[in-house]
A and B are shown apart, each in its own frame.
Chain A
């Protein structure tokens, strides 16, 4: 079965410290990988994506993610966390094969808490 896993329900980090939010996937073929952020009672905001090319992807608000094909991982990172980064983060996979309508498979979500 195709799936996306975010093994941590919550990540706590002090402001100014680096942060990592983990994501692994299990899908066939070459997927497109995404990270989204959600603030309370809001829709999802796009952070970054990996389609092909350089394994290190840079996105919005200073976030970046590294695609690791051998480990089937796509961890989200930021060198220096801000309190305003506190939110719910989702990793998602879109199947790249032809005929796919763009349906995304989401991970369970990870709550990031950045403390002053």
Chain B
């Protein structure tokens, strides 16, 4: 199947700093990618839909100025957590649809200290 690569897999940052997470489709092009947030032992919460060449679409309650999304090319979307705080600590996962399926990145464990 198709491969989605997410980097980094784990990051620790200080409060107030920004962190960038990359999501790449390795062997297919993705005009759309999705960013999810997952709390321990809970389901995936869709944060936003990343659209190549246009603005991301954010779900209700997600701060677009805090979670900056850029879909720079047909194979790369980035999520930047700006001015991170401990409550932003979570597991972030991206996915990209290809055909009838969705392929997921490995996830990024963000810890803000």
Contact = CB atoms under 8 A, between A and B. Distances in A.
Contacts of A109: 41-43
Given A41-B109, A94-B102, A103-B34, A46 B1 contact: yes
A43 interface: yes
B106 interface: yes
Interface string A22-39: 000000000010101000
Nearest to A107: B43
A94 B107 contact: no
Contact of B6 (A34, A43, A45, A94): A43
Interface in A39-92: 41-46, 49, 51, 88, 90, 92
Interface stretch (B61-69, B72-80, B93-101): B93-101
B105 to A, nearest CB: 5
Contacts, number: 57
Nearest to A6: B43
Interface residues of B, number: 26
B81 to A, nearest CB: 18
A76 B103 CA distance: 20
Contacts of B12: none
Contacts of A49: 100-101
B19 interface: no
Most A CB contacts (10 A, CB to CB) among B42, B44, B107 go to B44
A7 interface: no
B43 A41 contact: no
B32 interface: yes
A111 interface: yes
A23 B106 CA distance: 24
Contacts of A92: 102
Interface of A: 32, 34, 36, 41-46, 49, 51, 88, 90, 92, 94, 101-104, 106-109, 111
Given A94-B100, A102-B34, A107-B43, 9 more contacts: A41-B107, A43-B93, A43-B104, A43-B106, A44-B104, A90-B44, A101-B97, A109-B42, A111-B41
